[in-house]
């Protein structure tokens, strides 16, 4: 590995130090590759294992055995010899002379050594994980409303737990996991509002038998739900027509329960969750092909079984390639690294295949439960396509009604919608509205979401300053600054 001023060279650049990124780095180093891992976190682990080795909690066991199991993986990653760049934002990746050229901005919170860094690699593995699915409901932009994933990040990174007055609303495994973690830490929950449709089990039933291969996941879910029941927390199942109200901040939630009765709960803190979806911004900016996955109602990059994308030199692994959970992500990262080692010539095909077999078997087992969970917890269209008066683009304050109105005029897709309304042009760059915008256009025009498409993502894919961009521009020795026109 060479280091020239603010430039690095390596065989493999991995973006993301979660389970997939760490496992890939371990496997790639074992094969003899020089590896750089860039991650935005303070320490390796990703969201699932955030601060697993240095938890601010007095007793990290409250977060569960799965969380603590991440310590072993983090230890192996630290000992692998991969170069870990913490607090790094990858804001551009381009291709030049059969190399991957990535621009990174490193923040050291005022310390020396930050700035812009260029990494040249022979291959890149995108392991950026997942993001929470946006759930636009009335009042979701009020202060006092946040995602359960964000609340869990505060618990893991700073030991901050919400008050006992919090209401958890939505569906999916994280809803119950976070509730059980709060109970373990001595906190309570005001209520859980479960929006899983009462008849969702009918769609899930055909997947029940294959899911038994991952029975341990099902048992964990049952244990978490039992813990909530033993704690006496009110659980409202089959909820619909959910909204948040308040003057200047969240004050109450309203919904219709599974029996059709209107309900209201006073609360200053509402935590929302409707599952997670792949984070696709980086591979989209590279031009990787994506497809709409109707079974889980989200976009996912098109990859083969080893994580190879539609572009040469680019692999994608972990939840960023399709939601499978931490253990599946780790095995997917190993498989991708072995395939990269084969592509770069340090492993032959028989060696790659032999080393891949255990990971392939394990990956199949850990993914066995996914069709059942997708059928059970993928929110129905009514929850994904809000009413006209609901804000969809939080950055530019564009409502669902405005998006539907423009779509009815013949707007062909999200990129034209962006030009007409500025929807998707804010700091989040479409992360929190893109999926909803595609679905609303498809609804109005009676097209499939796959036909409508998604935003065209351009660099910088994360907000950076002009100074940081300027630092990335190489200047010749004979460069002279011209006069600015008067």
pLDDT of 4: 41
pLDDT of 27: 98
User: Would you say 194 and 355 are in contact if contact means Cβ atoms under 8 Å apart?
Assistant: no
pLDDT of 480: 57
> In this structure, are strands 115-126 and 314-316 parallel, antiparallel, or unpaired?
parallel
Banded pLDDT at 416 (limits 50, 70, 90) = very high
Helix (H, G, I), strand (E, B) or coil at 237: coil
Mean predicted lDDT score pLDDT of the chain: 93
Q: Note the pLDDT tens digit of each residue in 346-374.
A: 999 999 999 999 999 999 999 999 999 99
Question: What is the rounded CA–CA span in Å between residue 189 and residue 167?
Answer: 6
Banded pLDDT at 478 (limits 50, 70, 90) = low
CATH assignment, 385-452 = 1.10.10.1100
Q: Give me the residue label for tokens 């899983």.
A: 196
pLDDT value at 404 more than 60: yes
Mean pLDDT lowest among 103-107, 109-113, 251-255, 381-385: 109-113
**How far is CA 44 from each of CA 4, 7, 9, 17, 87, rounded to the nearest angstrom?**
25, 22, 21, 5, 10
CATH assignment, 134-274 = 3.50.50.60
User: Would you say 316 and 303 are in contact if contact means Cβ atoms under 8 Å apart?
Assistant: yes
Mean pLDDT lowest among 125-134, 316-325, 465-474: 465-474
- Over residues 423-432, the mean pLDDT reads 92
Strand boundaries in 133-200, DSSP class E: 145-147, 167-171, 191-194
Superfamily grouping for domain 2-131+277-347 = FAD/NAD(P)-binding domain (3.50.50.60)
Banded pLDDT at 467 (limits 50, 70, 90) = confident
pLDDT of 439: 98
**How far is CA 145 from each of CA 4, 131, 270, rounded to the nearest angstrom?**
46, 17, 5
- Over residues 41-52, the mean pLDDT reads 95
- Over residues 61-79, the mean pLDDT reads 96
pLDDT value at 484 more than 60: no
- Over residues 400-419, the mean pLDDT reads 96
pLDDT of 309: 98
Under DSSP, the state recorded for 213 is G
User: Would you say 403 and 417 are in contact if contact means Cβ atoms under 8 Å apart?
Assistant: yes
Question: What is the rounded CA–CA span in Å between residue 321 and residue 231?
Answer: 37
pLDDT value at 2 more than 50: no
- Phi/psi of residue 151, each to 5°? -65, -40
Banded pLDDT at 486 (limits 50, 70, 90) = very low
User: Would you say 47 and 68 are in contact if contact means Cβ atoms under 8 Å apart?
Assistant: no
Question: What is the rounded CA–CA span in Å between residue 428 and residue 447?
Answer: 26
Sorted by sequence, the CB contacts under 8 Å of residue 179 that are 6+ apart come out as: 168, 189, 192, 224, 227, 228, 233
Q: pLDDT > 90: what percent of the chain? A: 89
Mean pLDDT lowest among 13-27, 78-92, 101-115: 101-115
Any idea what the Cα angle at residue 256 is, between residues 251 and 260, rounded to 5°? 155
pLDDT value at 473 more than 80: no
Sequence ranges of the domains in the chain: 2-131+277-347, 134-274, 385-452
Q: Note the pLDDT tens digit of each residue in 191-241.
A: 999 999 999 999 999 999 999 999 999 999 999 999 999 999 999 999 999
Three-class SS of 390-440: CEEECCCCEEHHHHHHHHHCCCCCHHHHHHHHCCCCCCCCCCCCHHHHHHH
Under DSSP, the state recorded for 347 is S
pLDDT of 469: 74
Under DSSP, the state recorded for 429 is T
Question: What is the rounded CA–CA span in Å between residue 345 and residue 335?
Answer: 16
Any idea what the Cα angle at residue 396 is, between residues 413 and 381, rounded to 5°? 50
414-421 helix and 400-408 helix, angle to the nearest 10 degrees? 110
Q: Note the pLDDT tens digit of each residue in 122-132.
A: 999 999 999 99
Whether 2-131+277-347 shares its CATH topology with 385-452 is answered no
Sorted by sequence, the CB contacts under 8 Å of residue 391 that are 6+ apart come out as: 136, 140, 141, 397, 398, 399, 400
pLDDT of 252: 98
Sorted by sequence, the CB contacts under 8 Å of residue 124 that are 6+ apart come out as: 12, 13, 14, 15, 93, 100, 102, 313, 314, 315
List % helix, strand, coil for the chain (3-state, nearest 5). 35, 20, 40
Q: Is 23 exposed, middle or buried (0-12, 13-18, 19+ CB in 10 A)?
A: buried
Residues in the chain: 486
Sorted by sequence, the CB contacts under 8 Å of residue 479 that are 6+ apart come out as: none
**How far is CA 456 from each of CA 106, 285, 286, rounded to the nearest angstrom?**
26, 7, 10
The pTM of this model reads 0.94
pLDDT of 470: 74
Could you give the dihedral angle defined by the CA atoms of residues 433, 435, 440 and 441, in that order, rounded to the nearest 10 degrees? 100
């Amino acid at each position: 590995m060479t280091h020239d001023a603010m430039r690095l060279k390596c065989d493999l650049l991995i973006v993301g130090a979660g389970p997939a990124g760490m496992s890939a780095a371990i496997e790639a180093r074992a094969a003899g590759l020089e590896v750089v891992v860039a991650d935005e976190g303070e320490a390796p682990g990703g969201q699932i294992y955030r601060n697993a080795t240095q938890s601010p909690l007095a007793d990290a066991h409250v977060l569960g055995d799965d969380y603590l199991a991440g310590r072993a993986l983090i230890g192996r990653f630290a000992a692998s010899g991969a170069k870990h760049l913490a607090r790094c934002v990858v804001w551009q990746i381009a291709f030049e002379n059969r190399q991957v050229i990535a621009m990174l901005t490193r923040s050291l919170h005022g310390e020396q050594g930050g700035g812009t860094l260029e990494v040249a690699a022979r291959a890149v593995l995108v392991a950026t994980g997942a993001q929470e699915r946006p759930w636009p409901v009335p009042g979701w932009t009020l202060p006092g409303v946040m995602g359960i994933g964000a609340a869990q990040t505060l618990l893991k990174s700073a030991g901050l737990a919400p008050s006992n007055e919090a209401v958890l609303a939505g569906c999916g495994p994280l809803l119950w996991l976070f509730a059980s973690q709060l109970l373990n830490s001595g906190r309570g929950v005001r209520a859980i509002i479960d929006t899983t449709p009462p008849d969702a089990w009918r769609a899930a039933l055909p997947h029940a038998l294959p899911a038994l291969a991952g029975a341990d996941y099902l048992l964990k879910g049952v244990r978490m739900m039992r813990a909530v029941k033993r704690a006496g927390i009110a659980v409202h199942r089959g909820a619909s027509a959910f909204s948040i109200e308040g003057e200047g901040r969240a004050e109450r939630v309203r919904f219709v329960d599974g029996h059709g009765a209107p309900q209201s709960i006073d609360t200053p803190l509402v935590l929302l969750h409707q599952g997670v979806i792949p984070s696709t911004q980086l591979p989209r900016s590279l031009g990787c092909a994506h497809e709409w996955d109707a079974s889980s109602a989200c976009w996912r990059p098109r990859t083969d079984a080893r994580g190879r994308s539609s572009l040469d030199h680019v692999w994608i692994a972990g939840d960023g390639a399709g939601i499978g959970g931490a253990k599946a992500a780790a095995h997917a990262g190993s498989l991708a690294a072995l395939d990269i080692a084969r592509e770069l010539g340090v492993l032959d095909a028989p060696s790659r295949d032999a080393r891949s077999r255990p990971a392939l078997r394990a990956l199949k087992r850990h993914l066995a439960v996914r069709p059942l969970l997708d059928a059970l917890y993928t929110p129905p269209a009514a929850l994904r396509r809000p009413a006209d008066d609901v804000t969809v683009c939080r950055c530019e304050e564009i409502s669902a009604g405005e998006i539907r109105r423009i779509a009815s005029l013949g707007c062909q897709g999200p990129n034209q919608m962006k030009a007409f309304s500025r929807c998707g042009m804010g700091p989040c760059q479409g992360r929190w509205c893109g999926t909803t915008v595609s679905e609303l256009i498809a609804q109005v025009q009676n097209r499939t979401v796959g036909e409508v498409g998604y935003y065209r993502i351009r660099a910088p894919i994360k907000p950076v300053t002009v100074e940081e961009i300027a630092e990335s521009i190489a200047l010749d020795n004979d460069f002279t600054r011209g006069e600015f026109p008067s």
